[in-house]
Amino acid sequence: MKILIALFLFTLLSSAHAGENEIRKSLQSKFPGIGKIEHIVKTPYAGLYEVIIDDQLLYTDAQGEYLFEGNVIEAKSRRDLSGERRQVLFAIDFDKLPLELAVKKVKGNGKRKLAIFTDPNCGFCKRLEKELSRVTDVTLYRFMYPIFPGSDEIVRNVLCSKDSNKAWEDWMLSEIAPAKAICDTQTEKVMALGQKLRVNGTPNLIFGNGIQSPGFLPLEELEKNLNETEKKQGTS
């Protein structure tokens, strides 16, 4: 009986593997120059397979005849299933981030961690700073990511000030402009890092578990994500 069960499981695994290989070959033949197919996994919905090609999440059918781009939304709950998968699939190793490029601020015990790509002329970044002013027991790493017109100069003045955190918060919370200053900064390295991590806008948050969350989050969502990350790290 054990031998029969083992053979049955082996057949199932072999069939699944063969299916993935067939899909890979089909896509490569129908889409010459498609790029590196890194991942093919069957989803639990609609018979679709998720495919990662050059760091992009796509979908295909069981025969690899069609290739779909876009988000799968669960109608009943309105959940963005594709968005949730991207967060998991493209999670970042937080400890490998070049945190020395960020402006660091420790609040309270600093146990929770949050990295932020932010711009001084971004309205949602300013809204986020108001929410962050109410968060404690967190270490913030602010990556100055000037993508709006005129932001380069403000970022330079903030980074070259005696107290970068104060200069930043004065500007973001009270619109008090930082004093003009000149010094060497590492903004170019931050911009390159953002491009590598596919940061297409600000604010862009990265929690301690490596999950990226593009866009503004209210206080309740910030606390929820920070607490969930802390629990997972505590049990790992």
Tokens for 158, please give them: 């903030």
The neighbouring-strand residues paired with 112 are: 138
pTM value is 0.75
At 22-79, the pLDDT tens digits run: 898 899 888 888 888 888 999 998 889 999 988 889 999 988 988 889 899 999 999 9
Tokens for 185, please give them: 């900064």
Is the confidence at residue 187, as pLDDT, over 70? yes
Is the confidence at residue 7, as pLDDT, over 60? no
Top-confidence residue, 81 or 145: 145
Q: Percent of the chain, pLDDT > 90? A: 62
At 79-132, the pLDDT tens digits run: 998 888 888 888 889 999 999 999 999 999 999 999 999 999 999 999 999 999
Is the confidence at residue 162, as pLDDT, over 60? yes
Mean pLDDT of the chain, nearest integer:
88
CA–CA separation, 77 vs 4, rounded Å?
41
Is the confidence at residue 144, as pLDDT, over 50? yes
- Domain boundary assignment for the chain: 20-89, 94-235
Is the confidence at residue 3, as pLDDT, over 70? no
Tokens for 215, please give them: 């866009």
Round the CA-based radius of gyration of the chain to a whole number and report it.
22
Is the confidence at residue 161, as pLDDT, over 60? yes
Is the confidence at residue 9, as pLDDT, over 90? no
Top-confidence residue, 227 or 91: 227
Reported for 149-153, long-range contacts at CB under 8 A and 24+ positions apart, including other chains, are 149/121, 150/121, 151/119, 151/120, 151/121, 152/187
CA–CA separation, 233 vs 159, rounded Å?
31
CATH architecture of 20-89: Roll (3.10)
Residue 12: the pLDDT is 39
Residue 6: the pLDDT is 41
H-run or E-run covering 185: none
Contact between 159 and 187 under an 8 Å Cβ cutoff? The reply is yes
Residue 225: the pLDDT is 92
H-run or E-run covering 28: helix 2-30
3-class SS string, the chain: CHHHHHHHHHHHHHHHHHHHHHHHHHHHHHCCCCCCEEEEEECCCCCCEEEEECCEEEEECCCCCCEECCCCEECCCCEEHHHHHHHHHCCCCHHHCCHHHCEEEEECCCCEEEEEEECCCCHHHHHHHHHHCCCCCEEEEEEECCCCCCHHHHHHHHHCCCCHHHHHHHHHHHCCCCCCCCCCCCHHHHHHHHHHCCCCCCCEEEECCCCEEECCCCHHHHHHHHHHHHHHHHHC
Q: Do domains 20-89 and 94-235 have the same CATH topology?
A: no
Question: Per 3-state DSSP, what percentage of the chain is helix, strand, and coil (rounded to 5)?
Answer: 45, 20, 35
Residue whose pair of structure tokens reads 């606390």 in the numeric block? 223
Is the confidence at residue 200, as pLDDT, over 80? yes
Residue 155: the pLDDT is 98
**Phi-psi label, residue 223: left if phi above 0, alpha if psi -120 to 50, beta otherwise:** alpha
Name the class of domain 94-235. alpha beta
Average pLDDT, integer, range 183-201: 95
